[in-house]
Copies of this chain bind each other. A is one copy, B any other.
């Protein structure tokens, strides 16, 4: 590896770290990081603002001012070339007379892909691509997933006993995993655009789905997959509807007066296609959530929703948190029943990472590419 490459990696690592500052709060835009460096000194730092504007490059250039002339800009994602609410970032970099732009990965957005780079090169700017690309592809995978499939990336969290159960036969499930692991879950919530659950879990657990165990004012939206719009108007979710964005995916024929109750209080009701057995078609629901701009959704169950997401190949990432408890066969299953499937056609995920946390074993799995 050349010395330049090593230097580029060093600065790109910083840009990636900056990109995570507003992770979970920039949707519909990706969370991008930008660093402006001149004579081995950082003269500008930027990251996508909440709700997506201003972009990382705009903010970093603002910090650098006229000093940007002759500098190198490190961006985790190809700068935009299309005109949205503001002038494209590629133009801003050109106008600032930046000498060189180092891009971690190309944008898959058809309005940008490659054209941002062409714009820069046509203006005589030296462009380097592919620095720490695997890392930025991971960082922007939710955004890419939405651009390519129209659907947000689903990260499914499952927590179970050592032998794969989520509760005993009496539905007791408290303290299966540790307090520390629950904090970890809240961190994942915070870094997601939205937290999603099924109507069964909304009823059984009555969760608020907010981030509590970490100090932050960043709260994800909440999504319930609730075919018949049966979530109680006395639920914590309904009661906290003014504080957190709330979306409910249901069938077309739900009661209009219930819809009105939710909507007049600020929730968004998303009417979806139905499956042959009269449930919300998950692919359709996710496409509609995608068109609302969600890039990353963190799904916390329950078992029915998890099973349907897995079986319909809609889980891109799975986080399994496992404690040392042994419940035995009579416990509730982590994943529900699949339609009959030949053994060799069962879904299979790839292991990405495994670590210990708060006495539990955490493993991260992803859909084979």
Interface residue ranges, A against B (CB under 8 Å): 158, 160, 162-165, 168, 170, 172, 174, 307, 310-311, 318, 320, 322-330, 333-338, 341, 343, 346-351, 353-356, 359-363, 365
Contacts and interface: CB of A to CB of B under 8 A. Distances in A.
Contact of A354 (B160, B333, B347, B354): B354
Contact of A355 (B165, B318, B341, B354): B354
B328 A162 contact: no
Closest 9 CB pairs of A and B: A164-B164, A328-B338, A324-B349, A163-B335, A329-B333, A172-B343, A329-B337, A361-B363, A326-B347
Contact of A356 (B168, B343, B351): B351
B168 A343 contact: yes
A328 B354 contact: no
Nearest to A367: B324
A330 B338 contact: yes
Number of copies: 2
A162 B320 contact: yes
Contacts of A164: 160, 163-165, 333-334
A324 B346 contact: no
A252 B252 CA distance: 68
Contacts of A311: 328
Contacts of A160: 164
Given A326-B349, A354-B363, 14 more contacts: A162-B320, A162-B349, A162-B365, A164-B333, A170-B343, A311-B328, A324-B349, A329-B335, A329-B336, A329-B337, A329-B338, A330-B338, A361-B361, A361-B363
B324 A163 contact: no
Nearest to A333: B329
A165 B165 CA distance: 11
Contacts of A349: 162, 324, 326
27 contacts: A158-B163, A160-B164, A162-B318, A162-B349, A164-B164, A170-B343, A174-B343, A307-B329, A310-B326, A311-B328, A324-B350, A324-B351, A326-B346, A326-B349, A327-B338, A327-B346, A328-B335, A328-B336, A329-B333, A330-B337, A330-B338, A351-B356, A351-B361, A354-B354, A354-B356, A354-B362, A354-B363
A193 to B, nearest CB: 25
B329 A348 contact: no
B337 A325 contact: no
